[in-house]
């Protein structure tokens, strides 16, 4: 008698910390960004962040996801706020936040936008992995007046992470004006980078969702068929050791798992998705029901098992990885087994 083969689909448990929403880019779809002169602009204070990290530890999270508006230091108004909490540049603040997370028992994963080789090198020892969405290799109207969204700059930053052997997350934002050929070109570019450096652990296939008050609030999101085809393309084009990730709070994951998705990204029991706050994270128990009985959900760390086995991490986070990871590189079973 034949038995149905189970799919293993991974996820991590994180806290999502948007350290600042001030950003040099003006993307047509972004509802997160604020200018320093807007009332809703902020920099999170160290005490606020420490409180969130503590809740994450208590809830069994392993990852501290630090996100930023890109290179806000270019604005004098932002720098005044940063100086008020004791820092002259954002990078130094981020380094201290990473140290705080590690000390408390969470592995940092930083996503601060385009960075130089030198800045990536400073962050590497304090991060289990890092990330930067490529989004697309195409030059689009959605990225007008967004200097950090020039594809060549993002590609250079992703390549620099490869040179430094940083386990890395990148991805496509589907439905922002790119064509089907643009998606193929983007995936082929990511595949070439991985074949050269071996550092891309996962590629997110994320669907654009329109945000009220943005330039693209009336732009239609991609269809389910477009998302299925893009996931299929990703699985066909990317090397086998690169996971295809889909966001389970933005789209039903079951059908995309059937077409090649194998990871659901960071799921937080503590914090909302600050980029898409209108879409709640599903609980792991809800996901188990949504993905079906033939899918086995398995918790991982922000660094994938193959990079743990290869030793792609520093002495600064070695004790924490050894404490959190089992012999197979996945999340160690125990009190927080999901």
- pLDDT-derived band at 6 (thresholds 50, 70, 90) equals low
What is the third-level CATH fold of 7-324? TIM Barrel (3.20.20)
State in Å, rounded, how far the first CA of the chain is from the last one.
31
- Mean pLDDT, to the nearest integer, of 126-139? 98
Distance CA 302, CA 104 (A): 16
Residue-range domain boundaries for the chain: 7-324
Cα distances from 169 to residues 13, 34, 263, in angstroms, run 16, 25, 12
The yes-or-no verdict on residue 292 having pLDDT over 70 is yes
Give yes or no for residue 131 having a pLDDT over 60.
Answer: yes
- pTM of the entire predicted model: 0.94
Percent of the chain with pLDDT over 90: 83
Q: How far apart are CA 95 and CA 69, in angstroms?
A: 16
Contact (Cβ atoms closer than 8 angstroms) between residue 14 and residue 266? yes
Distance of CA 326 to the CA centre of its chain: 23
Picking from 218, 222, 192, 190, the residue whose alpha carbon sits closest to that of residue 206 is 222
Alpha helix stretches (DSSP H) within 27-150:
46-58, 76-84, 90-104, 117-123
- The pLDDT value recorded for residue 280 is 86
User: Residue 72 pLDDT > 60, yes or no?
Assistant: yes
Confidence of residue 3 (pLDDT cuts 50, 70, 90): very low
Percent of the residues in the chain that have a pLDDT greater than 70, as a whole number: 97
Q: Does 36 have pLDDT greater than 90? A: no
């Amino acid at each position: 008698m034949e038995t149905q083969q189970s799919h293993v689909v991974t996820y991590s448990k994180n806290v999502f910390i948007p350290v600042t929403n001030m950003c040099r880019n003006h993307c047509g779809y972004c509802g997160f960004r604020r200018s320093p002169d807007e009332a809703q602009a902020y920099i999170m204070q160290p005490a606020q962040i420490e409180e969130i990290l503590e809740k994450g530890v208590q809830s069994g999270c392993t990852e501290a996801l630090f996100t930023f508006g890109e290179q806000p230091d270019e604005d004098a108004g932002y720098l005044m706020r940063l100086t008020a909490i004791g820092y002259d540049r954002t990078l130094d603040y981020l380094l201290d936040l990473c140290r705080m997370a590690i000390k408390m028992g969470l592995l940092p994963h930083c996503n601060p936008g385009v960075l130089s080789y030198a800045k990536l090198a400073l962050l590497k020892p304090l991060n289990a992995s890092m990330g930067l969405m490529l989004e697309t290799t195409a030059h689009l109207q959605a990225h007008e007046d967004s200097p950090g969204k020039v594809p060549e700059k993002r590609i250079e930053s992703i390549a620099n992470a490869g040179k430094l052997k940083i386990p890395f997350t990148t991805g496509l934002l589907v439905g922002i004006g790119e064509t089907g050929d643009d998606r193929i070109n983007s995936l082929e570019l990511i595949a070439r980078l991985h074949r050269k450096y071996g550092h891309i652990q996962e590629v997110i296939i994320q669907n654009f969702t329109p945000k009220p008050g943005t330039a693209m609030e009336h732009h239609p999101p991609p269809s389910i068929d477009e998302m299925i085809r893009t996931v299929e393309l990703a699985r066909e084009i990317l090397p086998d050791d690169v996971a295809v990730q889909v966001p389970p709070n933005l789209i039903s994951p079951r059908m995309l798992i059937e077409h090649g998705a194998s990871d659901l990204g960071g799921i937080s029991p503590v914090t909302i998705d600050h980029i898409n706050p209108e879409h709640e994270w599903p609980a792991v128990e809800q996901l188990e029901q949504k993905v079906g009985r033939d899918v086995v959900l398995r918790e991982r760390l922000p660094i994938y098992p193959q990079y743990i086995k290869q030793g792609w991490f520093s002495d600064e986070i070695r004790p924490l990885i050894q404490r959190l990871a089992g012999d197979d590189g996945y999340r160690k079973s125990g009190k927080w087994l999901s």
